[in-house]
Chain A
């Protein structure tokens, strides 16, 4: 069975600073994908970034990058130059031979 663990229920970061949100995963599938989603207070789920298990390079998307360490089974999200609008819940999720499995999320609060 696939499992996602997010150990940080809440995080605070100063505006313009970088922040890392942790995600570890467990799977026996050789092929899988890892996603990060943002959920602002309005409730919608916003797709941020994807990393495939066979990708050699870490994924980047604007201010978001994914620090993928396959041997450690970790897929941490790095947000650079935090903005007030980054305050939200962030979910790590995995796709393998089943639909997306989500972690419990991390609530990020950006402080001015």
Chain B
């Protein structure tokens, strides 16, 4: 019953440090996405994947890298953290096709990242 698991839940980084936000899902979903949520901005798409080995950029990809070597995992890498990357990060997964209608996207609980 795990759904989408994000780790860590909280993180403080110094400017220039790198780190990886982990995301894993156990629902065999094809689609996975990373969003960032900033006050008054809603959720903005960073990167997404429609299957293992396939990734693409979203609205705000700069400063982030992703890879999808397995169906289950979709890590987000911050290459050189900047204060502008202070945000809440959500990972989401969804099935393709008709199942998407009934279940929508399943979101992780989020990672609150502060860059100082």
Interface residues of A (CB under 8 A from B): 4, 6, 9, 33, 35, 37, 43-45, 47, 50, 52, 91, 93, 95, 98-105
Hey, which chain B residues are within 8 Å of A45, CB to CB?
Answer: 90, 92, 105, 107
Hey, which chain A residues are within 8 Å of B45, CB to CB?
Answer: 98-101
Interface residues of B (CB under 8 A from A): 31, 33, 35, 40-45, 48, 58, 88, 90, 92, 100-107, 109-110
Knowing A33-B100, A100-B92 touch, does A105 contact B107 (C-beta < 8 A)? no
Hey, which chain B residues are within 8 Å of A9, CB to CB?
Answer: 40
* Structural contact, A43 and B41, CB atoms closer than 8 A: no
* Structural contact, A104 and B90, CB atoms closer than 8 A: no
* Structural contact, A102 and B42, CB atoms closer than 8 A: yes
* Structural contact, A52 and B101, CB atoms closer than 8 A: yes
Among B40, B43, B102, residue most surrounded by chain A Cβ atoms (within 10 Å): B43
| Interchain nearest-CB distance for B30 vs A (Å) | 12
* Structural contact, A99 and B31, CB atoms closer than 8 A: yes
Using CB atoms, name the residue of chain A closest to B40. Answer: A104
* Structural contact, B103 and A104, CB atoms closer than 8 A: no
A102: which of B43, B103, B104, B109 is its contact (CB, 8 Å)? B43
* Structural contact, B42 and A104, CB atoms closer than 8 A: yes
* Structural contact, A100 and B105, CB atoms closer than 8 A: yes
> How far is it, in angstroms, between the C-alpha of A98 and the C-alpha of B94 when the chains are bound?
12
